[in-house]
Structure 1
Amino acid sequence: MISLALFHFLCSLTVLLLLPLHTSAGDPDPMQDFCVADLQAHTSVNGYPCKPAKSVTANDFFFDGFTKEGNTSNNLGSALTIANVNVFPALNTLGVAMGRVDLAPGGLNPPHIHPRATEAGIIIEGKVLIGFVTTANVFHSKELSVGQMFVVPKGLLHFQLNVGQGKALIYTALNSHLPGSVIVSNTLFASSPAIPEHVLTKAFQADKHTIDTIRSKFGAKA
């Protein structure tokens, strides 16, 4: 007959074996020095296949997309330049991406979510209100100026608003080579095909006219 102590040991061992052996805060760790993405490949599973090492050059590891100011002449007064694996293939499997956010006076980087990454950023120019909402529906925000840093936990709704007198510039870093961005307003009112109208009227406790008016602002048909 199995002893009580041995039974407890076997139960504990079973629980340990059922627990995940490795927990990652970002993308999986690479198993090679680099894996410059082959963007022409037909398959992609948590990353692109690697270019043959003999085809990789020094230029693959450099990106100049942040050298130019973004065009903020739009309704939001903002421009996002992203450096992810799709535009900077050397980031493939490395678990990192970056962004440049340009904001005109009063410009807004609208409420959005990064489903696969935590975001950290630093204010390079101007004065910016940073805000995010937790899963407990608690809103955290603060006005930041040059040199100050912020962090937004993975998957939480957040925004950046220029509250200064001049333009603002933010650089951000994200712990995924393809963090994704779900802009809430676009997702709700400009999806294709459209979310059923009765879903939106009930969710927002609004009438059809209000929903149709909002949709029209995004170029969507009522």
Structure 2
Amino acid sequence: MKLSPLLFILVLLAMASSGSHASDPSPLQDFCVADLASPVLVNGFVCKNPMNVSANDFFFTGLNIPGNTNNNQGSHVTTVAVNQLPGLNTLGISLVRIDYAPLGLNPPHTHPRASEILVVIEGTLQVGFVTSNPQNILFFKVLNAGDVFVFPIGMIHFQFNPSPNKNTVAIAGLSSQNPGVITIANAVFGSNPPINDQILAKAFQVDKKVIDYLQSQFWVDNSS
């Protein structure tokens, strides 16, 4: 699928402006390409020796390739974060492509370290996020190609393709080199080891058998 250059520019400009206010630490040098093989553990990645850096450390290819949506959610997230593009280390930005099959869902989730700006490239999306307690207000919108929506950092949000016969594609920029993702259902019902079913039964005000059923399901990671 050919992506509009104008929409790519829109996303990149938004990412560049968000990077100046990113939650990640600001760089103190021209670049700090992540040394993904280093045994040293820091908040991020240690820098590769600049003498060993090449243009490939700042390069990623394949974002034009549709992701495999053949899963229970009908969606796929192709991530371009520091683990895929080491040159992003310390820059406070990353990028994802999201493919949605007809009626595909990117289920409710949060990014603990990043705000997100999303632009629809093709198709239609129903999107929304929920504010924190006690208000829990849902902000909801239907987006078409060229429309942009922002999800504030840490808010539970989702995207759904309402079309029964057309695919949807979106590109999103995030204000962290490693934004992280917590998919709500996966975390609550698919944790390892499982959360005590009595705790969840009381939390959700349902019978314990409902919790046992939910914990027995296979919870899909749509980024794999």
TM range (shorter): 0.7 to 0.9
Counterpart residue identity of residue 43, structure 2: N
Match of 1:154 in 2: 153
Where in structure 1 do 4 or more consecutive aligned residues deviate above 3 Å? none
Q: CA deviation at 1:25?
A: 4.2
Instruction: Tell me whether 1:67 sits opposite 2:61 in the alignment.
Output: no
Could you say which structure has the larger radius of gyration?
1
Instruction: Tell me whether 1:93 sits opposite 2:94 in the alignment.
Output: no
Match of 1:171 in 2: 171
Q: CA deviation at 1:160?
A: 0.4
Match of 1:205 in 2: 205
Q: CA deviation at 1:66?
A: 1.1
CA RMSD of aligned residues (A): 1.4
Q: CA deviation at 1:145?
A: 0.3
Question: What is the rounded CA distance, in whole Å, between the counterparts of 1:44 and 1:86 in structure 2?
Answer: 14
* Aligned residues of 1:65 and 1:81 also touching (Cα < 8 A): no
Q: CA deviation at 1:51?
A: 0.6
Instruction: Tell me whether 1:187 sits opposite 2:187 in the alignment.
Output: yes
Question: What is the rounded CA distance, in whole Å, between the counterparts of 1:114 and 1:43 in structure 2?
Answer: 25
Kindly tell me: are residues 25 and 88 of structure 1, through their superposed partners in 2, closer, same or farther at Cα, counting changes over 3 Å? Answer: closer
Match of 1:129 in 2: 126
* Aligned residues of 1:111 and 1:183 also touching (Cα < 8 A): yes
* Aligned residues of 2:22 and 2:176 also touching (Cα < 8 A): no
Counterpart residue identity of residue 136, structure 2: N
Instruction: Tell me whether 1:37 sits opposite 2:26 in the alignment.
Output: no
Q: CA deviation at 1:45?
A: 2.1
Question: What is the rounded CA distance, in whole Å, between the counterparts of 2:159 and 2:33 in structure 1?
Answer: 32
Match of 1:51 in 2: 48
Q: CA deviation at 1:218?
A: 2.3
Match of 2:7 in 1: none
Match of 1:78 among 72, 75, 82: 75
Q: CA deviation at 1:30?
A: 0.3
Question: What is the rounded CA distance, in whole Å, between the counterparts of 2:57 and 2:65 in structure 1?
Answer: 19
* Aligned residues of 1:189 and 1:218 also touching (Cα < 8 A): no
Give 5+ residue unaligned stretches, structure 1: 1-23
Q: CA deviation at 1:67?
A: 2.5
Spell out, residue by residue over 1:124-159, the C-alpha distance to the aligned partner (whole angstroms, 9 max, x if none).
010000110011300011100000000000000000
* Aligned residues of 1:72 and 1:104 also touching (Cα < 8 A): yes
- Between 1 and 2, higher relative CO (CA 8 Å, sep ≥ 6) is seen in 2
Instruction: Give secondary structure in 2 for the equivalent of 1:218.
Output: coil
Question: What is the rounded CA distance, in whole Å, between the counterparts of 2:196 and 2:89 in structure 1?
Answer: 37
Q: CA deviation at 1:44?
A: 3.0
Instruction: Give secondary structure in 2 for the equivalent of 1:217.
Output: coil
Instruction: Give secondary structure in 2 for the equivalent of 1:36.
Output: coil
